[in-house]
Structure 1
């Protein structure tokens, strides 16, 4: 087998693997088993596939695959090619651990090595793309050290970081 044939076989294998992951993630949210999902579930599906678009980027993705007359549902036949392209191009990859750590260190103006719940809440709701109350509560439940009541962000960052696959 030539190197070109082997490269094509590897690319085909990667494509099949990606499309299988997309199909499995979509199917979890296809509650009616009719190859559609609620448009509000698409962000969860995309993020479950290890892609982390901003809300604006997610909005652009939805605009690309929504029906001309929005129905509130996204069809698999439109989702699959768009999401395949996103994953093949490795768009919206999560930030590595060192970048996440630097972001927390910026919030820790006194360099204490931790944040209080109020400091984190203020940053997450008043800066950049604000978290919803639900997102904030979910983050707090994972981030706050139950014994100390603070966010030991070095530990939390290693939990947040996603290993490249």
Structure 2
């Protein structure tokens, strides 16, 4: 039994390290707080992909009095529970690939930026313009004005092996 307890403590310690590192990357003033608008990015970087509603609920749980800021003391235990309970899992890569292939009717292996933007901002759970700009800045081939979705899959699916 002692081994199981020790393993659990090591696992929690590792999870805490990952969470702290992700949080601190956005703690620009080094005061253990981040802007509430960064929380989605922090959570995604930890391999979790909540719906907008789930993200909204999570923020409501950890935000300090609607101040627009989230403190590490509130974020750490809430995010630890999310990771240990495997809440907000990523979508499997093969499912994402199928989705992109449906959009790529001509089987070119890429989508034009305008076309992808239309799908991502008008269908399903739409991306905001800011989210779209961030994704395209990071992943688009600006010379050809396209996005190669197979390259995108590795960015959207994260190895969560803990």
TMscore range, shorter length: 0.7 to 0.9
How many residues end up aligned between the 2 structures?
161
Q: What secondary structure does 1:31 align onto? A: coil
Q: 1: distance between equivalents of 2:155 and 2:34?
A: 29
Q: 1: distance between equivalents of 2:24 and 2:66?
A: 21
Please name the residue that 2:93 is paired with.
Answer: 97
Q: 1: distance between equivalents of 2:160 and 2:86?
A: 11
Q: 2: distance between equivalents of 1:159 and 1:39?
A: 23
Shift of 1:98: 0.5
Please name the residue that 2:56 is paired with.
Answer: 59
Please name the residue that 1:12 is paired with.
Answer: 9
Shift of 1:145: 4.0
Please name the residue that 1:164 is paired with.
Answer: 160
TM-score, normalized by length of structure 1? Answer: 0.82
Q: 2: distance between equivalents of 1:83 and 1:159?
A: 21
Please name the residue that 1:85 is paired with.
Answer: 81
In the alignment, structure 1 segments of 5+ residues that lack a partner are none
Determine if the alignment matches structure 1 residue 133 to structure 2 residue 129: yes
Shift of 1:159: 4.5
Q: 1: distance between equivalents of 2:12 and 2:40?
A: 22
Please, which of 31, 39, 44 is the counterpart of residue 41 of structure 2?
Answer: 44
Cα contact 1:96–1:162 (8 A) shared by 2: no
Please name the residue that 2:147 is paired with.
Answer: 151
Larger Cα-atom Rg: 1
The two structures, once aligned, show a CA RMSD in angstroms of 2.2
Q: What do the CA deviations read for 1:120-162 (whole angstroms, capped 9, x no partner)?
A: 1211111012122232233334444456443332343245332
